[in-house]
Structure 1
Amino acid sequence: MFEKELIERIQQLNSHVTQLRNLLKEEQVSKRDEKPRRSFDHTKYARRHVFLHVVISIDLRSNLCEGLGIFIPEGHQPKSSSSDLKDEIRYPYLLNKVLPPGIRAVAWAPVHDKLSSRFDCKHRTYHYYFPKADLNIDTMKVASQSLIGEHDFRNLCKMDVGNGVVQFTRRIIDIQIEAIDEDTTSSYAMYRLKLVGQAFLWVRCIVAVLFLVGQGKEEPTIVQELLDVGRNPRKPQYGMASELPLNLFTCSYPEEDCKWIYDTESLRFVISDYQKLWTESNVKATMIGEMLNCLEQLPVESKMENQIKGLLMGAERKTYIPLLKRPTCESLEERIEHFAKRKRIEVVDDTETT
């Protein structure tokens, strides 16, 4: 009986191998029949330097022969003499059809070819979302106000000296911690940290320290201490907050340099797309919320408010060590000397380098 089963099994495997070989042959034939893709020749088209409302400056193909940001390659013969923006390519409409679901172009703007969406940005607005949990929001607000103004953020950043970044002075214009939900008594109430600043900011480091203040592990004055690089030239070792709730919400440019152009059909597509995303996320949140409502009615030793635990990086210490008593990283000067000796960096004094 065993021999008969073995023979049947071998026959089945042989049949399966034959099927796989046939599939491979079909795939090879289809590949041979495919026409080779031609590389796109940009020299045959006019180009336009534009900003996209996703913090991008890019050169794209243009239908027009003249206008702000238009560049005509040498020897190119325009097919159209139009300079009317109504005849221009619908950039957001086309791009949104091929961009990943989490990235959408809302608008575009023709700009001078020397303008950069990064270096010519007047200010950036960051949002960081988090639940109230067991946080003392009032003490977080007090601590956050010390960040306003121009400071050296070397103790509130990830020092990327290896890439030549040696300047960590930034200016924060405003910072607010605002309730999103009306009921702020619940530990599930959502809050938003809104931070407006010039240049790139290390929001995740800032939030990590504010969370420690909100948990009562640090005094609000810790922010001032960390900004005082004379007294504290070395960054204490601590983990950043999660990147999940961080959103570079808006970037602002001078009105005379950047006038956004919106496409109604494209906007409707984006809104519809994000409504679907909102539905999926909110349904999941509601389902989990109802499960928690039931679970929290069961007998537990004490009330649990661990909602921000998932936003804190690194292992939680059993015994908390205050930031200023922790081991520290190398000072900025030591790191510069280290990389300069290895000739791994060309020092760049650039407040915009990230």
Structure 2
Amino acid sequence: MRVALKIAYVGTGYHGSQIQSDVATIEGELFNALKELDIIDDPKTASFQSSGRTDAGVHARGQVVAFNTDKPNLSIPRVINSKLPNSIWAWAHAEVPYDFDPRRDANSRVYRYIMSGEQYDISRIRSASKILAGEHDFSNFCSKDEDKSTVRDVKRIDVRVSGALTKIDIEANSFLWNMVRKIVTALTMVGSLIRDEAWLKQMLEPESYEEGLEPAQSYGLTLMEVKYPMPIQWVYDSYSLRRASEKVQEYLVRHRVMAEVMQELVPKD
């Protein structure tokens, strides 16, 4: 049987999702759990595939992985989560065809970037985001891989304010390396009046204009969802979702305390 999982993780402390030797990665932890439970023997023989890689420090709510196994009764979130660290959890599973490829079969991905928005003109960011929608050459918005086309179709960019934070949702057929984070950098440059929309339009014409951009910080980025044209009968694990909520609450408490601690580290005049 071929099983697909929806995986969420806090990317802080991991060197990205893709397995690497001698460093902690999301796939490395997941492989260890699947092997310990005897769900798979080896990622290659099990045809393990993911919907895509995320960089160091990037989080996910809806990463999708798939693998072949003869232990479908063990290939469920609550069992797999028992062998995973608190920063990674599965929360849904489905039986899928043997030819299901979570990366190639996807028709779009949705990323969300969260940042402090108090220093930006949000109306300018919203206006600029419309320029980036559609099919363009995003060569100026990525860390280049010479073997890949840099043309992508951005289906939508939604910008909304939530208190002191700004949330930017970007959906595209697929993304280039660092593409979302560099788009965020460009939008904030327009939103802070460093650049204008004419510059942004130039950036979409890499044959005549090239400029490097620093990607926005990784900690604000989350892979929210991977969408597929075919229906997948996901079975949601209520126990795993409840435990995930408890874990997230623990993270929130810790970070609220740390925020106060950081304030106390600066001596007052």
TM-score for the superposition, normalised by structure 1:
0.55
- Give a deviation string over 1:213-256, Cα, whole Å, max 9, x none: 12211012222111123432xx3133221111011111112352
Q: What is aligned with 2:257? A: 283
Which one-letter code corresponds to 1:123 in the other structure?
S
When structure 1 is superposed on structure 2, of 168-177 and 266-275 the one drifting more is 266-275
Deviations 1:86-109 (A, max 9, x none): xx3352112212223322111011
2:191 corresponds to 1:217: no
The C-alpha deviation readout for 1:120-163, integer Å capped at 9, x for no partner, is: 112111000100242122111111111111111011111122xx
Name the structure with the higher helix share: 1
Residue 181 of structure 2 is aligned to residue 204 of structure 1: yes
Corresponding residue for residue 231 of structure 1: 208
Give the Cα–Cα distance (whole angstroms) in 1 for the partners of residues 221 and 39 of structure 2: 38
Aligned-residue offset at 1:42: 6.1
Give the direction of change, closer, same or farther, for the CA distance of 1:91–1:41 in structure 2 (3 Å limit). Answer: closer
Structure 1 partner of 2:69: 60
Matched with 2:128 is 143
Q: Partners in 2 of 1:89 and 1:48 — Cα distance?
A: 17
Larger Rg: 1 or 2? 1
Q: 1:272 to 1:42 in 2, by over 3 A?
A: closer
Which residue, out of 244, 247, 251, partners 2:222? 247
Work out the number of aligned pairs and report it: 217
Q: Is 1:169 the counterpart of 2:169 in the alignment? A: no
Q: For residues 175 and 153 of structure 2, what CA distance do their matches in structure 1 show?
A: 10
Aligned partners of 1:231 and 1:90: how far apart in 2? 51
The 3-state SS of whatever aligns with 1:239 is coil
Q: Report the residue type matching 1:216 in the other structure.
A: L
Identity, in percent, stands at: 25
Separation (CA, whole Å) in 1 of partners of 2:50 and 2:214: 35
Work out whether 1:191 is the aligned partner of 2:173.
Answer: no
1:266 matched to which residue of 2? 240
What secondary structure, in the 3-state scheme, does the structure 2 residue paired with 1:270 have? Answer: helix
In the alignment, the residues of structure 2 paired with residue 106 and residue 178 of structure 1 have an alpha-carbon distance, to the nearest angstrom, of 27
Q: CA RMSD in A?
A: 3.0
Specify which of 161, 169, 180 is matched with residue 179 of structure 1. Answer: 161
Contact between 1:143 and 1:223, CA under 8 Å: does it hold in 2? Answer: yes
Segments of structure 2 that go 5 or more residues without pairing to the other structure are 1-35, 52-61
Contact 1:90 1:263 in 2 (8 A): no
Equivalent positions of 1:1-354 (< 5 A) are 54-63=63-72, 88-161=73-146, 164-165=147-148, 167-181=149-163, 189-201=164-176, 202-232=179-209, 235-256=210-231, 258-285=232-259, 287=260
Q: Please tell me the residue identity of whatever aligns with 2:229.
A: P
CA–CA separation in structure 2 for the residues paired with 1:265 and 1:51: 24
2:40–2:68: 8 Å Cα contact kept in structure 1?
Answer: no
Q: 1:112 to 1:59 in 2, by over 3 A?
A: same
Structure 2 CA distance for partners of 1:42 and 1:266, relative to 1, 3 Å: closer
CA contact (8 A) 1:51 1:111 kept: no
Gaps of 5+ in 1: 1-37, 64-87, 182-188, 299-354
The answer on whether the counterparts of 1:50 and 1:59 sit within 8 Å (CA) in structure 2 is no
CA deviations over 1:251-298 (Å, ceiling 9, x no partner): 112352x1111122222222211221222223333x269759x96xx7
Higher relative contact order (CA 8 A, sep 6+): 2
Give the whole-Å Cα distance in 1 for the aligned partners of 2:49 and 2:143.
31
SS at match of 1:55: strand
Change (3 A) 1:282 1:59: farther
Q: 2:79 & 2:125 partners in 1: Cα distance?
A: 43
